[in-house]
A = this chain, B = another copy of it.
Amino acid sequence: MKIELLEYQKRIKQTKERMAASGIEVLLVTDPANMNYLTGYDGWSFYVDQILAIFDDEEQPIWIGRTADANGAKVTTWLYQENIIAYPDQYVQSDVRHPMDFVAEILTQIGQDKRNIGVEMDNYYFSAKCFQQLVKGLPNATFMDATLLVNWVRLIKSSAEIELIKRAAVISRQAMVAGIEMVNEGVRGCDVAAKISHEQLSGTSQFGGDYPAIVPLLPSGERTSTPHLTWTDEPYQKGETVIIELAGCYKRYHAPLARTVHIGQPTPNMKNLSDIVVEGLNECLNFIKPGVTCEEVEQVWRNTVDKYGVTKESRLGYSMGLNYPPDWGEHTASIRKGDKTILLPNMTFHLIPAIWSEGDSFEVSESFRVTSSGCESLVHLPRGLVIKEDGMAFETLNPVI
């Protein structure tokens, strides 16, 4: 299962249309997800500078990266070999020369130095220094902010992408069930994380897994007051809540999923909180269909939980799909107040109405695809608080739907 050349060409075309609409003649892509989306490039080489340059007057983009990684571009992309350009290793993490000096030189050599150049100003892999060096090296260019330009092209998924995400969802479910099964009094968080990671990478006997853009988030006890803590090597104790947030990943596509486990009987307040959040989530999923906006979905959530006095400050969800560390979110549409993005078929979101507090915390989420008439959850697994007592197995407690 792979993306066909025709699909890459369509993506390039759509990118060029957006470039034209913004007056951008040359687009320098540094986001590794955007680079993969447009060329197939896939390697853990984004820790050094690399770019994909798209020209309004050239059919093929050029890839510029470190010499050692150029063979990676040859192996993983559809680009002509002559469009893969390598900078010498002396540019890597040097205090006297910068990879963007090399990029500026190449653009000058091929006569692309006096143009309107779009750069992804707000991307992990385009530092302040990268921009400074490009501006210095291309004094006759006009720079324009092209942050998220390609990300917006990624918003609606193709059938091939949906198939990849569905495989990721199979892995998500498998990893989540394994994690839930294992959480119990006396078990160490690191061992649960290890089991989850094993399931994520191994995948199924039909297809293997890829590394997710975020490691399993596995806060427990007081650490559930905040979403982004990982795990410790302390054994879980009776009465603790354990939150599991993870994603299966297949060929860089994700299907994030969160569930909450309680070791022993929860307090009535905790049980109540989980019921309210699940009700809010269900109402949103029932409401979602093509034509509604992101902020309307959030309003449904708020209308549902307001009456119980539950409030949530952080956004309710976000567009997701193809990605690399450190985030599986696409940074485009968010399900929150003020976001007027209209939902359309084959958009894919992670809907995560989690409540983190210094008291009780509960997290549950679904990855969904907008269908022609509504939405479908990509994973089928009970949503409520999972109560683990006396080592009883999860499957016994919650028959899987």
Residues on the B chain within 8 Å of A202, using CB: 190-191, 193-194
* A222-B76 Cα distance, complex, nearest whole Å: 11
In the complex formed, the residue of B with least CB distance to A326 is B47
**Residues 24-44 of chain A, each 1 if its beta carbon lies under 8 Å from chain B, else 0:** 000000000000000000111
Q: Please, which residues of chain B bring their CB within 8 A of the CB of A76?
A: 229
Is A125 interfacial (CB 8 A cutoff)? Answer: yes
Q: List the number of copies, as a whole number.
A: 2
**Interface digits, A111-132 against B, CB 8 Å rule (1 contact, 0 not)?**
0000000010111111111111
Contacts of A199 in B (CB 8 A): 194
Are B226 and A318 neighbours in the complex by a CB distance under 8 Å?
Answer: no
State in angstroms the CA–CA spacing of A68 and B356 once bound together.
Answer: 8
Is the CB–CB distance between A67 and B313 below 8 Å? Answer: yes
Interface stretch, picked from A153-161, A209-217, A258-266, A277-285, is A209-217
Give the residue name and chain of the B residue nearest to A88 (CB).
B313
CB 8 Å contact bits of A66-105 with B (1 = contact, 0 = none): 1111111011100000000000111011010010000000
Decide if A108 is an interface residue (CB 8 Å cutoff).
no
Given the complex of chains A and B, what is the CA–CA distance between A381 and B379 in angstroms? 43
Kindly report which residue of chain B lies nearest to residue A191, judged by CB atoms.
B202
Within 8 A of B (CB), among A188-204: 188-191, 193-195, 197-203
A273 to chain B: closest CB distance in Å? 17
A63–chain B nearest beta-carbon distance, Å:
13
Q: Closest 7 A-B residue pairs measured CB to CB?
A: A190-B208, A208-B233, A128-B131, A194-B202, A122-B129, A71-B226, A194-B201
CB–CB B190/A203 < 8 A = yes
- A203 — which chain B residues lie within 8 A by C-beta? 190, 233
Give the distance in Å from the alpha carbon of A88 to the alpha carbon of B313 in the complex: 8
**A136 in the interface (beta carbon within 8 A):** no
Interfacial residues of chain A within 159-212, with CB under 8 A of chain B in the complex: 188-191, 193-195, 197-203, 207-211
- In the complex, the answer to whether B44 meets A226 with C-beta atoms within 8 Å is no
A232 interface residue (CB < 8 Å to B): yes
A7 at the interface (CB under 8 A from B): no
A290 interface hit (Cβ, 8 Å): no
A133's nearest neighbour on chain B, judged by CB, is B122
Given contacts A93-B318, A130-B128, A194-B198, contact A72 B211 (CB under 8 A): no
Given contacts A126-B128, A190-B209, A203-B190, contact A43 B198 (CB under 8 A): no
Q: Which of B126, B226, B230 contacts A210 (CB 8 A)?
A: B230
Given contacts A191-B202, A208-B189, contact A228 B358 (CB under 8 A): no
With A128-B127, A313-B67 known to touch, is A326 a contact of B329 (CB < 8 Å)? no
